[in-house]
Amino acid sequence: MSRPADKFNDEPMVRKPILMPPTLITEIEKMAKKASEQEKRSVSFAEVVRRALMEYDPNAKTDNDEILNTLLDGIIKSTKETTQVVRKLNKKLDKSYKELMHGDNG
């Protein structure tokens, strides 16, 4: 079975130090260990990172994007409804003000 990172096996590897938080390092190490157990072969930290990079799609929508879009749609709808109510209230206030002013002058 071909793995996404296999296509790089023919290329010479180049060392590239990367900075990441310790918690992320721990998570990747756990992933490598789990993959090693599942595949019954050694899966390195670097291989997990390579696999993740092969799967990464910067244009893909994430669940967060969908959640944010849903929230924004709700906020926009609510804002439009609130604006309509405020406009109606302003019309009533304007009418009441004119009636009060007319009554004082009459």
Give CA–CA dist 106/104, Å, rounded. 6
| pLDDT single digits (tens) 85-100 | 999 999 999 999 999 9
With cut-offs at 50, 70 and 90, classify the pLDDT of residue 25. Answer: very high
Over range 76-88, report the average pLDDT.
92
**More confident call, 102 vs 36:** 36
Quick one: CA torsion of 25, 27, 30, 34, rounded to 10 degrees? -130
Give CA–CA dist 71/81, Å, rounded. 15
Judge contact between 36 and 43, C-beta under 8 A: yes
Over range 37-62, report the average pLDDT.
89
**More confident call, 15 vs 106:** 15
Give CA–CA dist 34/43, Å, rounded. 9
